[in-house]
Structure 1
Amino acid sequence: MTASDEAEYTGDVTPGGPAAVRDLPAMSITKVAVDEKMANNAYLLCCRRTGEQLLVDAADEPGVLLELVGDGGLTTVVTTHQHWDHHRALADVVAATGAEVVAGEPDAAAITEQTGVPVARTVTDGDTITVGDCTLEVIRVTGHTPGSICLLFDERPTGGVPHLFTGDSLFPGGVGGTFGDDDAFTNLIDDVERKIFGRLPDETWFYPGHGKDSTLGAERPHLAEWRDRGW
């Protein structure tokens, strides 16, 4: 079951609850939360012209994810980073759909080791991933893991706004965890400031790996606070 449209979309979903759908002119975004404990977000992106589909993070509950995919098939699964809670359904989803697995190069070996699923394509800064007529630009953000990636769908050329899928690198209220590693935190906050906030406008809507969405404009005033607190 799904709920909402572009006018109503908030990005608020809960495990076991309905998915939220955002219908952009060129692409639809379906957001669902899986696993009561971890409350991971997974995003199904569908090109509205071709019907081609891509999944961001096969996090858990393959039955839920495959129901979203439906009869339209799945071309690609992008795993945003190597942490176990973001790829627990990867093997089942790939076995059912034959989708190509894409991940950041430094995290690819760990993803395969943990899931048994080969990463067919590794990506880094500036690479692109297509879903039908829609193009996602890869932004590598180092710190939460060595190979974490964000995906940018930029509607500005057609009068829209940028949409950014951030995995666990950026959330409302701060960057992702770096587990007490000061160097990793510095790398992460530097990359987030330079590659995301330094490049993209306030109206950029971002979709994180857990919890609610936000905009860069809502978070930008707090960047110095995040850096000062060290997490």
Structure 2
Amino acid sequence: MPDYTGDVRPGGPADVRELDALTIRKVSVGDMDNDAYLLTCRATGEQLLVDAADDAPRLLRLVEEGGGGLALVVTTHQHRDHHRALPAVVEATGARTAAGAEDADALPVPVDVRLADGDEVRFGEVVLQVTHLRGHTPGSVALRYDDPAGRPHLFTGDSLFPGGVGNTRGDAAAFTSLLRDVEERLFDVLPDDTWVYPGHGADTTLGAERPHLTEWRERGW
């Protein structure tokens, strides 16, 4: 299998990363180039989807590609482009749902698990750590997998991208909140080789972005 790059396009194949205990499949869906991630526990086959963003048929095929049922869909935040396919995916699979507590009521389906900072999400033998990142939306969450055999893997939704934090629509207080959380809860506690899987576009690492924190703060977005 070719090395994982994280470079995907709408309608294209999944890019697949094989870790010792976890398989990560990344696809792009919809007209906003949303990234969705299927995580498969290699020991049990149980699966979790990060953001049922769009194109339910493609996401259901992705679940089939993983070879198992879908246990849980985690929605990283309440913006519609990250949950347009959520009702169809839940109906087709019977998966449970999870989202940040402050964003849960804005989703188009009932949320089974309301996430808070420091919570754990488990599927199969895999454990994900929840980080609440306030600013892009009130309840945005990131999910972190600490690979025992390697680097941390961080799914950030729209809170952190290559080149900056997520859009705060010119709200200075929201930008300050988001940048503070990203610095204190991500950059201050995780190593530079932490791999970042964002809600749109290409992947990055914390080490690639760390030198630009002052620049982001000064530009205000």
- Residue 25 in 1 paired to residue 20 in 2? yes
For 1:15, give the aligned amino acid.
P
1:46 to 37, 40, 65: 40
1:144 to 136, 154, 158: 136
State the 1:16 CA deviation.
Answer: 1.0
Distance 1:98 1:142 in 2: 30
State the 1:58 CA deviation.
Answer: 0.1
1:186 to 176, 195, 200: 176
1:198 to 153, 166, 188: 188
Unaligned runs of 5+ in 2: none
- Residue 78 in 1 paired to residue 70 in 2? no
The 5 Å alignment of 1:216-227 reads 216-227=206-217
State the 1:17 CA deviation.
Answer: 1.0
For 2:90, give the aligned amino acid.
V
State the 1:228 CA deviation.
Answer: 0.4
Distance 2:131 2:206 in 1: 15
Question: Secondary structure at 1:186's aligned position in 2?
Answer: helix
Number of residue pairs aligned between Structure 1 and Structure 2 = 219
For 2:190, give the aligned amino acid.
L
- Residue 66 in 1 paired to residue 60 in 2? yes
- Residue 135 in 1 paired to residue 127 in 2? yes
Q: Percent identity?
A: 63
Distance 1:139 1:211 in 2: 21
Whether the aligned pair in 1 keeps the contact of 2:20 and 2:149 (CA below 8 Å) is no
1:18-74 CA-partner distances (Å, limit 9, x unpaired):
110000000000000001x20000000000010000000000000000001115110
Partner of 1:177: 167
The alignment yields a C-alpha RMSD, in angstroms, of: 0.8
- Please, what TM-score do these two structures have when normalized by structure 2? 0.98
Distance 1:132 1:228 in 2: 43
- Please, what TM-score do these two structures have when normalized by structure 1? 0.93
Distance 1:99 1:62 in 2: 14
Question: Secondary structure at 2:70's aligned position in 1?
Answer: coil
State the 1:131 CA deviation.
Answer: 1.7
Distance 1:87 1:169 in 2: 16
Distance 1:16 1:63 in 2: 11
The 5 Å alignment of 1:151-170 reads 151-155=143-147, 158-170=148-160
For 2:49, give the aligned amino acid.
L
- Residue 13 in 1 paired to residue 8 in 2? yes
State the 1:159 CA deviation.
Answer: 3.1
Unaligned runs of 5+ in 1: none
